[in-house]
Amino acid sequence: MTITLDSLTKRYDELVAVDALTLRVEPGETYALLGPNGAGKTTTVEIMEGIRTPDVGTVTVLGLHPTKDRSELQQRVGVMLQEGGIYPGARTAEVVRLFRSFYRGARPVAELLELVGLSGRADALYRNLSGGEKQRLSLALALVGNPEVVFLDEPTAGMDPAARRATWLILENLKATGVTMLLTTHFMDEAERLADRVGILHHGRLAAEGSPDELIGSTGLVRLRTTRPVDIIRIESIFGTPVETDGDAYLIQAADPLPGQFAALTEWLAGENNLIQELRVGSGGLEEVFLGLTKDSADG
């Protein structure tokens, strides 16, 4: 195991930020922590990075202790903070040059700037970079020391769509070289695209965990709306699963609905002269899973 968290708990006064969290990340795996604001994502990552210490529980990264083995661990780990962290008055290339001096076998400045698409901004002051450029410089700094593990706290926040896709490509290439990645994100598409496994964090606990496919499959839904109310028992008999209502819509809990079942449904409704206003199959993706699991959260 590259990362292990066991019964991790962290409180800020009365607020329990992380609540008995246990988690495993395997070598070479990309693990995404997904959750609404205040779910405990950043606290969890910062405990793994050694910035914060847990009240209860144990953490290992590459078999090492984040604070006791700090000097050895930091050589092998790359970190991208959620924001800031760079001298506003320093130039892009100067910052990379400084960070290179901290690591054994660091990557050359020009190569790193090329990688994140900042070659043309080498002499720009950090404070004059756009939000996306700042994020990309921060990513370059996470990769300076050829890390075995990378922690990325909302790596594409503030990026335009083109920069986001470019960053995904960088991370996918990194993943292909066997680097273990742990990222937090608000973006479902990011988690779906990059992560081997996703943990949905809610009130400091894992509300769900699995591959994106598993999570999406676990809430396979058929959503039906019609002009007039229908007989629920009839729908249940067609699909062989329970049916719930959501306002004027019917939610059919069918993970793998068959074409014949839809044929039977539409034929029956046609016979009733009841018009279909909406019929959606499957999940809208992780977003639906996420919203379903975290809907009690006001700030979600």
Partner 1 sequence: MGDRWPTALWEQTRMELLLTLRRGEAVLLTLVIPVGLLLFFGSTGLFDITVEFLVPGLLTLSIISSAFVSMAIATGYERKFLVLKRLGVTPLPRWILIAAKSVSVAVIEVVQFVLVAGIAVLALDWEPAFHVGWGAAGLALGTSAFIGSAMLLAGTMRAEATLALSNGLYVVFLGLGDVIVPIAALPAALQTVARILPGAPLAAVMRGAASGAEVGSASVWSLVLWAIAAPLLATRVFTWQER
Single out the residue of 57, 85, 217, 220 in contact with partner 1 (rule: CB under 8 A). 85
Q: Which residue, 75 or 297, has its beta carbon nearer to partner 1?
A: 75
For partner 1 (CB under 8 A), the number of binding residues is: 28
Amino acid found at 42: T
11 lies in the site for partner 1, by CB under 8 A: no
User: Using an 8 Å Cβ cutoff, are 218 and 210 in contact?
Assistant: yes
User: Using an 8 Å Cβ cutoff, are 75 and 50 in contact?
Assistant: no
Q: How far is the CB of 83 from partner 1 (least distance, A)?
A: 7
97 lies in the site for partner 1, by CB under 8 A: yes
DSSP 245-285: EETTEEEE--SS--HHHHHHHHHHHHHTT--EEEEEES-SS
Helix, strand and coil in the chain, % to nearest 5: 35, 25, 35
Instruction: Write the interaction track for partner 1 spanning residues 64-83; mark x where CB under 8 A is met and - where it is not.
Output: -------x--xx-x-x-x-x
Q: Which residue, 99 or 250, has its beta carbon nearer to partner 1?
A: 99
**92 pairs with which residues across the strands?**
none
* Strand ranges across the sheet with 3-12: 15-25, 3-12, 56-61
148 lies in the site for partner 1, by CB under 8 A: no
Q: Which residue, 184 or 294, has its beta carbon nearer to partner 1?
A: 184
Q: How far is the CB of 39 from partner 1 (least distance, A)?
A: 20
Q: How far is the CB of 124 from partner 1 (least distance, A)?
A: 14
- Among candidate residues 174, 51, 47, 170, the one with its CA nearest the CA of residue 115: 170
Q: How far is the CB of 98 from partner 1 (least distance, A)?
A: 5
177 lies in the site for partner 1, by CB under 8 A: no
Q: Which residue, 18 or 81, has its beta carbon nearer to partner 1?
A: 81
Helix, strand counts (H, E) of the chain: 11, 13
User: Using an 8 Å Cβ cutoff, are 189 and 165 in contact?
Assistant: no
What's the CA gap between 215 and 239, in Å, rounded? 21
SS3 3: strand
264 lies in the site for partner 1, by CB under 8 A: no
49 lies in the site for partner 1, by CB under 8 A: yes
Single out the residue of 1, 16, 20, 51 in contact with partner 1 (rule: CB under 8 A). 51
Q: How far is the CB of 142 from partner 1 (least distance, A)?
A: 9
What's the CA gap between 120 and 141, in Å, rounded? 17
**198 pairs with which residues across the strands?**
32, 210
Q: Which stretch binds partner 1 (CB under 8 A): 3-11, 91-99, 186-194, 261-269?
A: 91-99
Q: How far is the CB of 123 from partner 1 (least distance, A)?
A: 13
86 lies in the site for partner 1, by CB under 8 A: yes
99 lies in the site for partner 1, by CB under 8 A: yes
User: Using an 8 Å Cβ cutoff, are 263 and 202 in contact?
Assistant: no
| Residue 147 dihedral angles phi and psi, to the nearest 5° | -70, 155
150 lies in the site for partner 1, by CB under 8 A: no
Q: Which residue, 113 or 230, has its beta carbon nearer to partner 1?
A: 113
Name residue, tokens 């926040």.
Answer: 157
Contacts with partner 1 by CB under 8 A lie at: 49-51, 71, 74-75, 77, 79, 81, 83-90, 94, 97-104, 141, 145
